[in-house]
Amino acid sequence: MHKFGSLLLAVLLLGLGGCEPPASNTQNASESPNVALTADSQTIEWRLATSWPKNFTGLGMAPERFANLVDEMSNGRLKITVYGAGELMPAFAVFDGVSQGKVQMAHAASFYWKGKAPAAQFFSSIPFGMTAQEMNGWLHYGGGMALWEEVYRPFGIIPLAGGNTGMQMGGWFNKPINTIGDFKGLKIRMPGLGGEVLKRVGAVPVNMAGREIYNALQTGSIDAAEWVGPVNDLAFGLHKVAKFYYYPGWHEPGSNMEFLINKAAFESLPADLKAIVKVAARAINQDMLDEYTSRNVLALEILIRDEGVVLKAFPPVVLSELERISSQVIEEQANKDPLMRTVHDAYRTYERGVRQFHKISEDAYSQHRQR
């Protein structure tokens, strides 16, 4: 973990006019350090495939900004071209794409890969799991990254955290949810573990790409849907086809995104470019959360003030029941896969500790602000 500090230092030094050029360039360094960094160095070209439409708000901007940052930080020595979903390969083929070396990198979310590695789900978001702040603590200072690396090692992939949406919204509904029984028969767009939980209370979870949600709600082929939060939901116009906007997003309390790197490609990089890739990813990881936080505020204002959206909270009794079932579903899955069990136990141990601390810090302060 303190490695990050030295990486950051190394990159800062490079950024400050190339004070520490690679050993092979030291001869020229005294004359013109900036030129020396690039003159003798070959340009490396990488391709990065994403699971998002090209330049998609929030999620899709992270890989674009990452590529720009790496270009600037490396003085143009590492050029990364970003491809949207479907340009090189379908959205959900990017994991195999990186694993097989068709592309050097991808940007996606780890819960997509539960069929290949059930433990991967813990590195995006689990129902009633950790928040963005807690996830970042676990990953970078609580042992989470080492476990994530272990989960992806058999695939020849190195993971890095790639941004967080923060707390998502509970979704769009056309009838109110007053009791757990109101989920019965409800056709709802809800992927992953959240969908599995809703199935247990009689709902019919459906998975579909974000772009299909508007039409599905409009034609009535689904009754309700979750997507992300104010900024992405507003962009898709979901408020035009559903009455109630529920909170909180119990199913995704802080969804962490990921950069996937082909291990062989990463290991072929010189040490400074390795550091640049890691530090740029770390910067973009924080950047996404900052952007979502700010833009969600404005988007929510528009939804309420201009679009007349009705905000509704899930009743506490409904949330408690969903939480009970969530632990059950996750426990059951962990019992079927030894590595998922290992990651589950580590996640829960960290979560217990951080909840204790947040009870007397973040949570206590939030309660005070709600008075």
What minimum distance in Å lies between the beta carbon of 228 and Ca ion? 5
- Asked if residues 282 and 79 have their Cβ atoms less than 8 Å apart, the reply is no
Residues touching Ca ion: how many (CB under 5 A)?
Answer: 2
- Asked if residues 99 and 65 have their Cβ atoms less than 8 Å apart, the reply is no
Q: Which is nearer to Ca ion, 168 or 285 (CB)?
A: 168
Q: Could you give the string, one character per residue 202-241, with x where binding to Ca ion holds by CB under 5 A and - elsewhere?
A: ----------------------------------------
Q: Which is nearer to Ca ion, 46 or 173 (CB)?
A: 173
Output b/e per residue, 53-92; b: 16+ Cβ within 10 A.
beebbbbbbbbbbbbebbbebbbebbebebbbbeebbebe
What minimum distance in Å lies between the beta carbon of 255 and Ca ion? 6
What minimum distance in Å lies between the beta carbon of 156 and Ca ion? 29
Q: Number of C-alpha atoms within 13 angstroms, CB side, residue 330?
A: 26
What minimum distance in Å lies between the beta carbon of 291 and Ca ion? 17
Q: Which is nearer to Ca ion, 46 or 183 (CB)?
A: 183
358, two tokens: 């947040």
What minimum distance in Å lies between the beta carbon of 168 and Ca ion? 5
DSSP string, 230-275: HHHHHHTTGGGS-SEEEE--TT-SS-EEEEEEEHHHHHTS-HHHHH
What minimum distance in Å lies between the beta carbon of 138 and Ca ion? 20
344, two tokens: 């589950």
Q: Which is nearer to Ca ion, 57 or 168 (CB)?
A: 168
Q: Number of C-alpha atoms within 13 angstroms, CB side, residue 52?
A: 21
Q: Which is nearer to Ca ion, 164 or 168 (CB)?
A: 168
Beta bridge partners of 161: 258
Using the rule CB under 5 A, give the single segment among 115-123, 167-175, 269-277, 344-352 that binds Ca ion.
Answer: 167-175
Nearest to 245, CA basis, from 255, 256, 237: 237
What minimum distance in Å lies between the beta carbon of 299 and Ca ion? 15
Using the rule CB under 5 A, give the single segment among 60-68, 166-174, 292-300, 313-321 that binds Ca ion.
Answer: 166-174
Residues 104-123 that bind Ca ion (CB under 5 A): none
Amino acid at 23: A
Residues 240-269 that bind Ca ion (CB under 5 A): 252
Q: Which is nearer to Ca ion, 84 or 195 (CB)?
A: 195
Query: Binding residues for Ca ion, per CB under 5 A?
Result: 168, 252
